[in-house]
Amino acid sequence: MYEKSTLEIVIEQTNADIENLLQCKLCEDVSLRAFGIASTVQVFDEEDEKSIPAVILNNGDCEYVFSDDDFQAGCYHRINSKTYGTVKGGGNFDKDVETVEMVLIVWGFSNQLKMSNLDFERDVIIPAIPQRAKLVSTDFDSYRVANSEFKGINYIPKPEEFIFSVKYRVQYAFERKCLKKNCS
């Protein structure tokens, strides 16, 4: 049976809490488009090489994760980097520790949500990120955030559209295991 990683649990909890907080804040059902981990996907046209953010499904298909005015808001997570270290464990053994630098990309439509990007970040996004994830910073420059996600594409947000990113860090101990292959 597959056991979810600490990172997957943090992402799922964050997405569920964003939806719950948003419904509570608006006192109505919301149309939220929340994704897990997205990657940069190359898009080729006749002239230039471009890239967009997308979730890559197990069958190889890609799902577009960015702004869609059929929804009031949306978000996805991206891994920026991982680092490894050790901490003192029980007895004479050190434990391996993985630190994952993450970014949560958030978009929404202020006219549909009836709140600004600052309100959305303060009242919905920040409280939704679990305590086990350490908050690092928020970037409210929508043009910079959009252009860091889209390479070779000049993405210009609509006036009522906000985009921001929240950097956070997840750290957890892990065990290095050797998996035995049962060959018959």
Ordered by start, the domain boundaries in the chain are 6-80+102-165
Residue pair 37/25 in contact (Cβ under 8 Å)? The answer is no
Summarize pLDDT for 157-182 with one digit per residue, the tens.
Answer: 888 999 999 999 999 888 777 655 55
Alpha-carbon torsion 52, 57, 62, 66, what sign? negative
Please give the average per-residue pLDDT across 10-26, as a whole number: 94
Q: Which residues pair with 134 in a beta bridge?
A: 169
Instruction: Spell out where 18-160 has E strands.
Output: 32-37, 39-44, 49-56, 62-64, 73-88, 94-109, 133-139
Summarize pLDDT for 72-115 with one digit per residue, the tens.
Answer: 999 999 999 999 998 877 667 788 899 999 999 999 999 999 99
Please give the average per-residue pLDDT across 2-27, as a whole number: 90
Please give the average per-residue pLDDT across 25-31, as a whole number: 86
Residue 2 pLDDT class (50, 70, 90 cuts): low
Average pLDDT, the chain: 88
Residue 3 carries which DSSP code?
-
Residue 48 pLDDT class (50, 70, 90 cuts): confident
